[in-house]
Amino acid sequence: MKPHLPPKKDDTRPTLVLDLDETLLHTYRGEVALKQVDYVIYAQDGHSCLLAGTLRPGVFDFLNWAASYFEVVVWTAGTEDYAAMARSCLDPDDKLITHMLTRKSCIRMRSASTKEVLYIKDLCALGRDLSKTFLIDNTPHAATLNLSNLIPIESFVGNRSDTELIELKKFLEANLVRLIDKKHDMRIILHRQFNLKRRIRERITHWRREQQSRQQ
């Protein structure tokens, strides 16, 4: 299968894959006071508001910093039109985001319990060294196939005092030497830091117990 991304121009840079919704910004789907938002997308008539939303605090500083050290890939489960809109807001000069991926590049699955459609981001399909590729996402299920590459982040829903990107930058800066050094596999460090597999096993066990108690 052809990789989702073209060959890397600079193989010394790790690949940082960033989720979009509730990671870099929050788009409001219903009615919202326009004075409270950072961006508004209007219909062709110039009057009807199609989308409006808020950028996560520190997003521009973070992207500017990340672009200096990483190949920055933004991967959304949204449509191509939505991705183009977001890119124009986050990177109007087209200098920070190296690649943009959309729903078309996700694996579509349906939850057996909730019937909800889930979009999985398979990092193996990027054509990158997985020991130097990381996904920042607020929904752990997106990294189901690559949990060892996930750096979780809290969901952003418009809180102006949010500091998650500041903390993320600190974490990446503290490990930058290891991230760049080909001798290190950052997945080992991430496993020790977050131990996501254990957390998910605990959640599954808890869910099974709840199901059993309901059946009794």
Q: Which residues are catalytic?
A: 19, 21
CA 76 and chain centroid, separation: 7
Residue 16: exposed, middle, or buried by beta-carbon count in 10 A (0-12, 13-18, 19+)? buried
CA distance 97 to 182: 23
Amino acid at 55: L
> Looking at the DSSP assignment, which residues form a beta bridge with residue 147?
none
Structural tokens at position 67:
């672009």
Write down the H helix ranges in 34-137.
59-69, 80-90
Burial of 41 (0-12, 13-18, 19+ CB in 10 A): middle
Neighbours of 12 (CB within 10 A): 10
Return the bridge partners of 25, or none.
21, 55
Tokens representing 124?
């193996």
Structural contact between residues 194 and 150, judged by C-beta atoms closer than 8 angstroms: yes
